[in-house]
Structure 1
Amino acid sequence: MLIKMAFTLLMLFTLNCYAGIELTTEQSSAKKTGIILYNQYKATSAIPFLTTAAEAGDHEAQYYLGEALRKKNHYMNKEAKKWYEASAGQNDLYAMIQLGRIEHDMCEISSDCPPSQKQPIEWLNQAKKIAQEKAEAGDAEAMYIMYEITLDDTWLEKSASAGNAFAQYWMAVSIKQGDGFFLPWKRSEAFEKWFKLSAEGGYPKSMMEYAAILYERGDIEGFRNWNEQAALASYATTVFGYGSDLAHEPDTFGYPLDLIKGYALIYWLSELDGGGGMKENVEYTLPRIAAKMTAEQIEAAKKFSKEWAASHPPLSFFPDKLSR
């Protein structure tokens, strides 16, 4: 169940309440592939796939294409802005917010952008109007968007209380970092509560935060459980840790030695040749595991890796959809 919930969360911010155009099977597949690559920190590789769906008029693909182009160029260039505006023109709230943040972007400073359809504040006001209507109707994601627009913590708490696992994560982080007024022991209880709710809602980053809390408490079994759940959800950072633990590289958390599964998980991560530092981790760790194995075991592990990849969600770093 948690695997399904995490995969749903992986795609959660690829969905929007506004009905878009209907893509062909090929275009839909390209969009899905593009978003997967984007979530693996492969923005450049994602661009041609996202372009296919964006040119067909899909607002979500247009938004992610704007994101990918902005990340590739390290600032909002005219091509990225074009796709954000195409997406925002279809009432995509995330695109509106990014356009609302453009005011002091290098794109504007260097005069590299074409004239805007609207001023940044106009996009933010439009996003706020739409999001507030939806939030007041009970939409938990819209409540979180209201928080992003207004920076009013009340909206973050409302979204978290309404069950948004992403908002619950940031609610926990905010409290942990010192926001709000709590007695010391009440503060720890508060952020633990939100991390736990978010973890149970399928958000892998919260799974690892809650696992760390349990580990500090001496609950090693609880740690191992949530660590494994995050790996099953294909959270790349945890897949690496879990695979290393199984192969005893090092043996930190008392997992039974399983060289084949450990090698298989680290080998699976070889496809992450973008950001996140995973390539370097794999290149260091995989030979160390292989040194303990026979050639037959390594071949079995590679086969296991393919089977695992086919039966689990795509690897992801679970980046925030609304990036800075």
Structure 2
Amino acid sequence: MKVNTMRAYFFIALLMIAPLSGFAAELTIEQQTAKSQGIVLYNQFKAISATPLLKIAADAGDPDAQYYLGEAIRENHRYIDAEAKEAYEDAAKQGSIYSMIRLGQMESDLCATMNNCPKSQKAPKEWLASAKALATAEAAQGNAESMYLLYEITGDKKWLEQSAENGFSFSQYLLATEYREGGGFFLLPSNRMDAVERWMKASAEGGYPRGMSGLAAVLLEKKDPEGAREWTERAAATGYVEAIFNYGYYLAGKNTEFGFPVDFVKSYALLSLFLELDGGGGAKDDAEYVISKIKEKMNQAELDEADKFAVNWKKTHPPLSFFPFKLSR
């Protein structure tokens, strides 16, 4: 019975996706560079600057670039317009479940409130059905990310749990956060915190930056400052904006619970990286304020050393990123 059901899922998925499917184009070096740079800018909340770069790779047929192009346009305009819809549809035709979900959400998009949603090739419920069929087929093959997408499509937390159990670090972070905020049922508070730590640790060890920062917070609560320092530094090394800010802030002698030694040079250097974050959010303003206070305690030689440290950090670490959820809520 299970085998027949699984085969049925595969067959339905093929029927629903086959007419739309295509093969992702192989990008040239220039197109891949444009895509990578576009995603970096998007992840820094610079959607306007990201759009033309993403369009280069999207026009070449890359489905991931097409999805991010749709996201950038949607965020710029605050709703799904004809251009964003077209980008999502191009990606959906190549099997992008994320794009199918976006198209399936148009009835709740601001464009619906404004009564100007662009006409799509399918009704929203049909896009969601396509997304569910394909995600179900992929989940049956053990794809943990597709299990997570089924959670987004259905709202059924069993899929989030299965995705976490199967090693998707983002789902592990979401599950830990869900438990931390009171979700789930636990007989004892200690059992809840054990579950939070278990899943946050799994997410962190899986390389997810938010999970690393989350684990640092859990370890600090457990009176393990050494572990908290380690995971704060590891999270900062990924380019995660929140982690770098925290690390730089602690090095300035703030939040002494972590036990970081005061190092104004490194603190100033790390926080100065934020001066390029002019795409949105308050990170740049917060960093400028702290930097102004640190600068009062530094001489010119230390400021010069900090500038060199910042330049070397940028050469040896990933770009700054807010690591927004790919399927933003």
In 2, the alpha carbon distance for the partners of 1:244 and 1:188 equals: 27
User: For 1:225, which of 207, 230, 236 is the aligned residue?
Assistant: 230
| Structure 2 residue identity aligned to 1:312 | H
In 2, the alpha carbon distance for the partners of 1:278 and 1:180 equals: 33
Give the drift of 1:66: 0.6
User: For 1:240, which of 239, 245, 251 is the aligned residue?
Assistant: 245
Instruction: Answer yes or no: is the 8 Å Cα contact 1:245–1:252 preserved in 2.
Output: no
1:206 and 2:208 aligned? no
1:309 and 2:314 aligned? yes
1:91 maps to 95
TM-align CA RMSD? 1.5
In 2, the alpha carbon distance for the partners of 1:57 and 1:169 equals: 32
Give the drift of 1:276: 2.6
In 2, the alpha carbon distance for the partners of 1:219 and 1:282 equals: 27
1:253 maps to 258
In 2, the alpha carbon distance for the partners of 1:243 and 1:19 equals: 45
1:119 maps to 123
Residues 148-198 of structure 1, C-alpha deviations (whole Å, 9 max, x = no match) = 111111111111001110010111122222332211221221122111111
In 2, the alpha carbon distance for the partners of 1:111 and 1:278 equals: 35
In 2, the alpha carbon distance for the partners of 1:150 and 1:205 equals: 24
In 2, the alpha carbon distance for the partners of 1:50 and 1:161 equals: 33
In 2, the alpha carbon distance for the partners of 1:190 and 1:258 equals: 35
In 1, the alpha carbon distance for the partners of 2:320 and 2:118 equals: 36
In 2, the alpha carbon distance for the partners of 1:89 and 1:257 equals: 54
1:132 maps to 136
Equivalent residues in 2 for 1:156-235, closer than 5 Å:
156-184=160-188, 185-235=190-240
Give the drift of 1:312: 0.7
In 2, the alpha carbon distance for the partners of 1:178 and 1:129 equals: 32
1:32 and 2:41 aligned? no
2:19 maps to none
Structure 1 residues 103 and 301, CA, compared in 2 at 3 Å: closer, same or farther?
same
Structure 1 residues 251 and 219, CA, compared in 2 at 3 Å: closer, same or farther?
closer
- Segments of 4+ in structure 1 off by > 4 A? 249-252
Give the drift of 1:249: 4.6
Give the drift of 1:285: 1.1
In 1, the alpha carbon distance for the partners of 2:180 and 2:291 equals: 35
User: For 2:303, which of 298, 306, 312 is the aligned residue?
Assistant: 298
Instruction: Answer yes or no: is the 8 Å Cα contact 1:27–1:53 preserved in 2.
Output: yes
In 1, the alpha carbon distance for the partners of 2:255 and 2:298 equals: 16
Instruction: Answer yes or no: is the 8 Å Cα contact 2:180–2:192 preserved in 1.
Output: yes
In 1, the alpha carbon distance for the partners of 2:108 and 2:174 equals: 26
User: For 2:155, which of 151, 155, 158 is the aligned residue?
Assistant: 151
Instruction: Answer yes or no: is the 8 Å Cα contact 1:30–1:50 preserved in 2.
Output: yes
Q: Which moved more, 1:174-183 or 1:260-269?
A: 174-183
In 1, the alpha carbon distance for the partners of 2:252 and 2:108 equals: 48
| Structure 2 residue identity aligned to 1:182 | F
1:55 and 2:55 aligned? no
Residues 128-164 of structure 1, C-alpha deviations (whole Å, 9 max, x = no match) = 1111111111111111111111111111111100111
1:108 maps to 112
Higher relative contact order (CA 8 A, sep 6+): 1
User: For 1:46, which of 47, 50, 54 is the aligned residue?
Assistant: 50
In 1, the alpha carbon distance for the partners of 2:148 and 2:99 equals: 15
In 1, the alpha carbon distance for the partners of 2:258 and 2:159 equals: 38
- Percent identical among aligned pairs is 50
1:318 and 2:323 aligned? yes
Extract unaligned runs of 5+ from structure 2.
1-21
Instruction: Answer yes or no: is the 8 Å Cα contact 1:20–1:59 preserved in 2.
Output: yes
In 1, the alpha carbon distance for the partners of 2:177 and 2:258 equals: 25
In 1, the alpha carbon distance for the partners of 2:88 and 2:211 equals: 30
Q: Which moved more, 1:129-138 or 1:293-302?
A: 293-302
Q: Computing the radius of gyration over CA atoms, which structure comes out larger, 1 or 2?
A: 2
Equivalent residues in 2 for 1:75-90, closer than 5 Å:
75-90=79-94
Structure 1 residues 188 and 253, CA, compared in 2 at 3 Å: closer, same or farther?
closer
In 2, the alpha carbon distance for the partners of 1:32 and 1:241 equals: 26
Residues 186-229 of structure 1, C-alpha deviations (whole Å, 9 max, x = no match) = 12211221111111111121222221121112111111111111
